[in-house]
Amino acid sequence: MTESNADEQHVTEPTEETTATSDVENANGENAESHENENKPAVRTIALDEGYQFGLGVFETMALRAGRIMMLDRHLARLRKGAEALGITAPSDDDLRWLIGEHLHEAGLEGSPSAVVKVIVSESNTVITDRDNPYDDWKPGRALRLGWCESRRNERSVLTYHKTLNQGDNMLEFRKAHELGFDGAVFLNSRGEVCEATNANLFFVRDGRWYTPAVECGLLPGTVRQRVCEMHRAVETHIRPDDLAGFDACYATNSLMGVRPVAELGEARFAVEGSNRI
């Protein structure tokens, strides 16, 4: 699962010994150094470690609202769990909190009504970026249209269950879905069970009861997913495409958009009752 791909506006990285440099580019692909922007920190060097070269790194994408990062504790806990799974030594939570605070100060985001803050950690790099929240322009009741992914989710891979830098499948399927006019697409696993969307977890509602694909089906358990499971006592289960007609409603969740209704998924259609932001 990945967030929508927009260019980060500001980049901060702690000073550390590195092996190569990487220019920061703006949204038009131009070298950032060619533009004067007092809000942009200096270009930093990036180590060509296994995170950069092979995707063995982790990241968290977090919503900033009213100057406060939402569910920061949950995000840091998930980042640490992913780093441990990949054998990466991540900075301590206290260090990450300090780095995030320094970044917010340098980027002028203290007290900002809304933004996206991203923390990226690999063995030799810790990078923090920010950008606008792409969902801020969405109307509150906007529902999603989702298609099906062509590729399958590998429920046997450890990478599936952590927010790693291995996001190729998500990005390619997300782009194809947008080209077809969808907001995203949904993965099935090797057994044909529903897993997750390219950028969100999924919930289905029947007779007032909330259901969600079981983690073992092959998905990244999101921070908002965890919160919604707690609020609605959601049942983790195995769902197939043929089962969708038996549900009354469907919702997609991620840390940037909160909870959004899904109007259609493939051939299935759902009632739209509004949305909720968590």
Over its C-alpha atoms, the chain yields an Rg (Å, rounded) of: 19
Please determine, looking at this structure, whether the domain spanning 144-269 carries the CATH number 3.20.10.10.
yes
| 10-131 classified as CATH 1.10.10.10 | no
pTM here is 0.85
The dihedral formed by the CA atoms of 148, 176, 159 and 16, expressed in degrees to the nearest 10: -160
Per-residue pLDDT of the chain (278 residues; tens, 9 = 90+): 655 444 556 655 544 444 444 433 333 333 333 334 444 555 678 999 999 999 999 999 999 999 999 999 999 999 999 999 999 999 999 999 999 999 999 999 999 999 999 999 999 999 999 999 999 999 988 999 999 999 999 999 999 999 999 999 999 999 999 999 999 999 999 999 999 999 999 999 999 999 999 999 999 999 999 999 999 999 999 999 999 999 999 999 999 999 999 999 999 999 996 444 44
Domain locations along the chain: 10-131, 144-269
In CATH terms, are 10-131 and 144-269 the same topology?
no
Residues contacting residue 138 through CB under 8 Å, at least 6 positions apart: 257
Look at residue 213 in the predicted model and tell me its pLDDT. Answer: 98
pLDDT at 45: 84
213: buried, middle or exposed (CB in 10 Å: 19+, 13-18, 0-12)? buried
Q: Residue 272 and residue 266: Cα distance in Å, rounded?
A: 16
Angle at 17 between CA 14 and CA 21, to 5 degrees: 85
E-strand spans in 52-193? 58-65, 68-69, 114-121, 126-131, 144-148, 184-188
Q: Give the pLDDT score at 141.
A: 83
Nearest to 261 by CA among 138, 146, 143, 182: 143
